[in-house]
Structure 1
Amino acid sequence: MSEPVSRRTPSTHIVPSYRTPLARILSLCSLLSVFALAPVPAHAELGESSAPVYSIESARAAHSLLIDIALAGKRLVAVGERGHILYSDDDGQTWVQARVPTRQLLTAVHFVDDKQGWAVGHDAQILVSKDGGATWAQQYIDVEREEGAPFLDVLFTDAQNGFVVGSYGALFVTRDGGETWEDASDLVDNPDGYHLNSIAQIKDSGLFIVGEMGVMFRSADNGETWETLEGPYEGSLFGVLGTREPGVVLAFGLRGNLYRSADFGSSWEKVELKAASGNDLEYGLAGGNLLPDGSIVLVGHGGSVLKSSDDGRSFVVINRPDRLSLSSVAATANGNLILVGQAGAQLASPTGAKLGQQ
């Protein structure tokens, strides 16, 4: 571990050209490489005269690629390809497509209450909603970032203080609800520009970031300073979660690697995962959530769904028969799960199985 990092001159290190900016997204499935390699449509910088291009309404949107899902009060809100944002007020039985000012891939969504939320994605853009996800506006966009490099995750600790992380070491901060955003990438010691894939708030402890090549950073002062940690794994970590216990952190990523810390990242233990076959889980883990009942659900490649009821000490693992890749999960009011990923939004049992099955 090192001392907290203060502001410094940004690194001039050139990131190798073979590295893709998709990080966590490309871990989902090779299908997404189509989006990574396709030409990035040109959009105007926020504040210029050109009007935004809105996502196209599609009857198939709920069955297309979705990357993340969150709760806005009792409402479910999911984001994904082509600027699609969908919401459901009936526990995922039906979905309504929102009006969204982009056709770019959206990678993450977060709400602080039943009305106010943010979504991020390609073109280094940040969208805001003040009506529970029904309509959206552009709050920040920077098409000049490398290769239209995307933001990958967003977190607000309250309605004013927010954080966005992304490819090539991006870290942006707002202290006024997104009215202004500051590039704070120089606050983390990341001279190689490794992708920052996920950010989470850890109970009674602070903020935690994980990323490419196992990089880890933590902040005990709401993002004013960041400390670099020596993590337990040198492969990419695609997600990080807190639990209902103070100081507990779960970090996960490639090849089913999952680690648990009970002291805010100072030390780690590997969580052993066994598939139903009895073999070690080798599918990459892409996302997850702490559910309202305190349980934790992680999802990933091969239709993997992992559930823990003991704050991440152990998990029950299933692989759905369709083997379709999953990227995030949320719970409905009656305890069922909504799984999002390669096949859009899927309603599942509390274990992640198809409804009516164990």
Structure 2
Amino acid sequence: MKQRVMTQARRGAWPLAAGAMLALALGMWTDSAQAAAADEYSTESAKASQSLLIGAAHAGKRLVVVGDRGHILFSDDQGNTWTQARVPTRQLLTAVFFLDDKRGWAVGHDAQILASSDGGATWSKQFEDLSREAPLLDITFLDAQHGFAVGAYGALLETRDGGQHWQDIAERLDNPDQLHLNGITRVRDAGLFIVGEQGGMYRSSDDGQTWAKVQGPYEGSLFGVVATTQAKTLLAYGLRGNLFRSADFGDSWQAITLKADRGELEFGLAGATLVEDGSLVLVGNGGSVLRSTDDGQTFSVYNRSDRIALAGVSGLANGGLLLVGQGGVHLANAEGAEPAAGEVRP
């Protein structure tokens, strides 16, 4: 089913703090987390592209987004129109990752892991654990065989066969209180890095065989982590707009302060991406879009007039942005501004 993007955003602020986006992922504010039968598929809807969407990724030139009620959609025209995929779940999906233009994975409630081998057009269920009663929140792969998923209550899963089998390796982390693990990424020339609840940070320099706890700069929740183009460099972001940068794989951290002339961040941060030109883009609640062109040392801030809660972002071929969150998919220019009425592309 083809769906065209609405070009005029809904007006009115949605008072959703950064922590609430995670609460949504944990199933506190959505009924999509109700237990579903194993053979249930996501409901086809003409308005799926306007539903709550949490994650976005590139499958080559194709855009893929995931979110509420098992919705996965893909676009081959830079977000102008969307096709809803047939997906074997009705649970909230929280993140999506593609290794290349064909192979991708999505995670969500009931500790579900879905896989696609055709660029997101079709999906199969690789893993599910109803007993966890908690979502997986992020996923990444080192290659076509070796991947990791993290989630609520300290969940950490590993596969070494492309997802045919997943092993619980949470015991490798120093996380006795089973605090939520919210994000995982691969850092250039360094290794894997995880962030989570209460400022938790963990890193691995041996492809996940062993993990060391990192002394972080912040005791509040971190919702995600993004690597830059530079070796050993990453940013962690989260509650109340807290943003930190490390150029040494977590040995030391710099708090990123947003100066008045660069804009003021009013809400927390929920998603991030590294776009093709090397810029970093972060999004948050209240319509905040941050962009850095100096490897995350400084950021400009644009607060959208529609004030929508944003959860994810991906770059467009024309330099614009695809934003996802409240109200589904939104096309924007490079700064995050919504198109004028009647425009479709940024």
Q: Same fold (TM over 0.5)?
A: yes
Counterpart for residue 99 of structure 2: 112
Counterpart for residue 235 of structure 2: 250
Change in 2 beyond 3 A, CA 1:184/1:242: same
Report deviation, 1:355.
Answer: 2.7
**Structure 2 counterpart of 1:78, which letter?**
V
Partner SS state of residue 338, structure 1:
strand
Report deviation, 1:179.
Answer: 0.9
**Structure 1 counterpart of 2:269, which letter?**
L
Report deviation, 1:157.
Answer: 1.2
Matching of residue 237 in structure 1 with residue 230 in structure 2:
no
Report deviation, 1:25.
Answer: 8.2
Q: How many residues align?
A: 326
- 1:199-220 Cα offsets, whole Å, 9 max, x none, are 0010110000000000000000
- Output the TM-score relative to the length of structure 2: 0.90
2: CA distance between counterparts of 1:292 and 1:174?
28
- Give yes or no for contact 1:85–1:97 (8 Å, CA) kept in 2: yes
Out of 236, 251, 270, the position equivalent to 1:266 is: 251
2: CA distance between counterparts of 1:99 and 1:278?
41
Counterpart for residue 206 of structure 1: 191
Out of 126, 143, 146, the position equivalent to 1:158 is: 143
Matching of residue 187 in structure 1 with residue 172 in structure 2:
yes
Out of 309, 319, 327, the position equivalent to 1:325 is: 309
2: CA distance between counterparts of 1:180 and 1:53?
22
- 1:174-209 Cα offsets, whole Å, 9 max, x none, are 011001100000111000111000000101100000
- Give yes or no for contact 1:25–1:107 (8 Å, CA) kept in 2: no
Change in 2 beyond 3 A, CA 1:142/1:27: same
Counterpart for residue 220 of structure 1: 205
Change in 2 beyond 3 A, CA 1:307/1:40: closer
Counterpart for residue 13 of structure 2: none
**Structure 1 counterpart of 2:108, which letter?**
G
- Give yes or no for contact 2:186–2:192 (8 Å, CA) kept in 1: yes
For 1:114-133, list aligned pairs within 5 A: 114-133=101-120
Q: Over the residues paired in the alignment, what is the CA RMSD in angstroms? A: 2.1
Counterpart for residue 27 of structure 1: 20
Report deviation, 1:354.
Answer: 1.5
- 1:35-70 Cα offsets, whole Å, 9 max, x none, are 5474843346xxxxxx51000000110011000000
**Structure 1 counterpart of 2:142, which letter?**
T
Report deviation, 1:292.
Answer: 1.2
**Structure 2 counterpart of 1:327, which letter?**
A
User: Between the two proteins, what is the percent identity of the paired residues?
Assistant: 60
Segments of structure 2 that go 5 or more residues without pairing to the other structure are: 1-16
Segments of structure 1 that go 5 or more residues without pairing to the other structure are: 1-23, 45-50
- Give yes or no for contact 1:295–1:308 (8 Å, CA) kept in 2: yes
Counterpart for residue 139 of structure 1: 126
1: CA distance between counterparts of 2:32 and 2:312?
26
Report deviation, 1:31.
Answer: 6.9
**Structure 2 counterpart of 1:213, which letter?**
Q
**Structure 1 counterpart of 2:225, which letter?**
V
- Give yes or no for contact 2:262–2:300 (8 Å, CA) kept in 1: no
Partner SS state of residue 289, structure 1:
strand
Partner SS state of residue 201, structure 1:
strand
- Give yes or no for contact 1:298–1:306 (8 Å, CA) kept in 2: yes
Partner SS state of residue 49, structure 2:
helix
**Structure 2 counterpart of 1:348, which letter?**
A
- 1:133-181 Cα offsets, whole Å, 9 max, x none, are 0110100000011xx2000000011111100000000000001100110
Partner SS state of residue 20, structure 2:
helix
Report deviation, 1:333.
Answer: 1.2
Counterpart for residue 339 of structure 1: 323
Out of 24, 34, 37, the position equivalent to 1:41 is: 34
Change in 2 beyond 3 A, CA 1:107/1:33: closer
Matching of residue 303 in structure 1 with residue 287 in structure 2:
yes
2: CA distance between counterparts of 1:88 and 1:229?
39
- Give yes or no for contact 2:32–2:68 (8 Å, CA) kept in 1: no
- Give yes or no for contact 2:51–2:327 (8 Å, CA) kept in 1: yes
- 4+ residue runs of structure 1 moved beyond 3 angstroms? 24-27, 29-44, 274-279
Report deviation, 1:335.
Answer: 1.1
Out of 46, 56, 74, the position equivalent to 2:43 is: 56
2: CA distance between counterparts of 1:253 and 1:61?
27
**Structure 1 counterpart of 2:103, which letter?**
Q
Change in 2 beyond 3 A, CA 1:234/1:177: same
- Give yes or no for contact 2:159–2:165 (8 Å, CA) kept in 1: yes
- Output the TM-score relative to the length of structure 1: 0.87
Counterpart for residue 286 of structure 1: 270
Partner SS state of residue 95, structure 1:
strand
- Give yes or no for contact 2:59–2:102 (8 Å, CA) kept in 1: yes
Report deviation, 1:347.
Answer: 0.4
2: CA distance between counterparts of 1:170 and 1:31?
18
